[in-house]
Amino acid sequence: MTTTTTTNYEVDNHEGAVPVKRWTHGVPIEDAALRQLANVARLPFVHKWVAAMPDAHWGMGATIGSVIPTKGAIVPAAVGVDLGCGMMAVETSLRAEDLPDTLAPVRAAIERAVPHGRSNNRRSRDSGAWGDIPDRVGKRWATELSARFDVIVDKHPKIADANHVVHLGTLGTGNHFIELCLDEREKVWVMLHSGSRGVGNRIGSYFIRLAREEIRRWFINLPDENLAYFPEGTDHFNDYVQAVGWAQDFARINRELMMAAVLSALEQAPGLRPFSTPSVAVNCHHNYVAREHHYGADVWVTRKGAVRAGEGEYGIIPGSMGAKSFIVRGKGNPESFCSCSHGAGRAMSRTEARKRFSVQDHAEATKHVECRKDEGVIDETPAAYKPIEAVMAAQADLVEIVHTLRQVVCVKG
């Protein structure tokens, strides 16, 4: 490998591969992630080059924080299993002085309003009893998702028994969260992170297996079996595009339903005055595939942990539980295929974080945030992530910062 450095990014050149352009100045990236980027760059259908964002780190199949444009094929494992995972943020008319001195009741109100953790929207969080799907959820499912899902499972019945409507409007676990934040003007924002939940995982996993089976059947050798792909024009390709498009819509609607539930809970939370939500709202995917035009060709762009940052487009780049987050506006940089990072990016594995940090470490790092401070979230502690300031500095030519947010409440699954 040879690496050259430009003003804004580094270029890795590997024999038999397209270049890898990395916006990682000042941000560490592990060798395993570099090897994954090289493997992807050797695929014969990659268009021009692979772009790596400053939060890039090792992932299953392809590097998290990578942008992969392809002509004539899609790699399902590069898209991943949390299809359509992304962020939503809404500015409110509330200001810091409007928040109560004690934020624990506000956090509790949000936790009651949105099922989180290993839960779903049919279980009452107060009584533990099972009930009906909430009307607001059932209506969105029936009008926008149900019929399309039936078409997909008619051809692929193994997907049918996934958690779908019972996960619609729910947060999940891991790094998914709901936050109240203050911006540089002391205005209150609601921000959340989630995706397509159980049904997206089932769809992604199912088609990843199909791709592996097809590659084996055709005796195609790949540097990593997780780079198995569907050639465009085949039945599996068409079915995958249809299914992943549906899952991405599920994820978007999921975030909209949760946001509505959070805003409703805040309207009734003790100590908060009535408020409105101005026009600033962002809802963006960061694990998805889309058809786009770049460098004279219509291509499939897979953003695995990356946000579209076309000129003037708004995006969200969150930090960790105790770090800053950013509302950004894209600069439309063509060399990144109009993309930016999706967050700070993990600095270590979850297992390593649990070994390295204590509950006391986590409590100290999040002392300014009303949030969980127990063993169950140590793997999400701020020190487990790369420094968000360095990540933002490395992509100054990709986005401009519109608002800088700091958390005051964080709900984790």
> Binding site annotation covers 179?
yes
> Binding site annotation covers 177?
yes
What are the start-end ranges of the H helices in 269-288? none
Tell me if residue 137 falls in helix, strand or coil.
helix
> Binding site annotation covers 146?
no
Task: Please say if 342 is a catalytic residue.
Answer: yes
> Binding site annotation covers 121?
no
> Binding site annotation covers 167?
no
Q: Residue 12 and residue 33: Cα distance in Å, rounded? A: 13
> Binding site annotation covers 287?
yes
CB 285 within 8 Å of CB 248: yes
> Binding site annotation covers 120?
no
Q: Residue 405 and residue 184: Cα distance in Å, rounded? A: 7
> Binding site annotation covers 87?
no
> Binding site annotation covers 259?
no
Q: Residue 235 and residue 227: Cα distance in Å, rounded? A: 19
> Binding site annotation covers 342?
yes
User: Of 186, 219, 214, 174, which Cα lies nearest the Cα of 75?
Assistant: 214
**Six-digit token string for 18:** 């397209």
Residue reference for tokens 């939370």:
269
> Binding site annotation covers 115?
no
Dihedral sign for Cα atoms in the order 214, 217, 220, 224: positive
Residues 6+ apart with CB under 8 A from 351: 379
> Binding site annotation covers 320?
yes
> Binding site annotation covers 362?
no
Q: Residue 168 and residue 183: Cα distance in Å, rounded? A: 29
Which of 57, 164, 342, 362 is catalytic? The answer is 342
Dihedral sign for Cα atoms in the order 15, 17, 23, 27: negative
> Binding site annotation covers 321?
yes
User: Of 372, 286, 284, which Cα lies nearest the Cα of 90?
Assistant: 284
> Binding site annotation covers 233?
no
* Element of type H or E holding 76: helix 76-79
Count the residues in the chain: 413
> Binding site annotation covers 365?
no
**Six-digit token string for 349:** 């594995």
Strand ordering across the sheet containing 187-194 = 281-285, 86-95, 187-194, 177-182, 399-412, 325-330, 314-317
> Binding site annotation covers 13?
no
> Binding site annotation covers 412?
yes
> Binding site annotation covers 238?
no
Residues 6+ apart with CB under 8 A from 290: 300, 301, 303, 308
User: Where is the binding site for Mn(2+), in residues?
Assistant: 82, 176, 193, 286
User: Where is the binding site for GMP, in residues?
Assistant: 175-179, 286-287, 318-321, 325, 342-345, 412
What residues act catalytically? Answer: 342
User: Where is the binding site, in residues?
Assistant: 82, 175-179, 193, 286-287, 318-321, 325, 342-345, 412
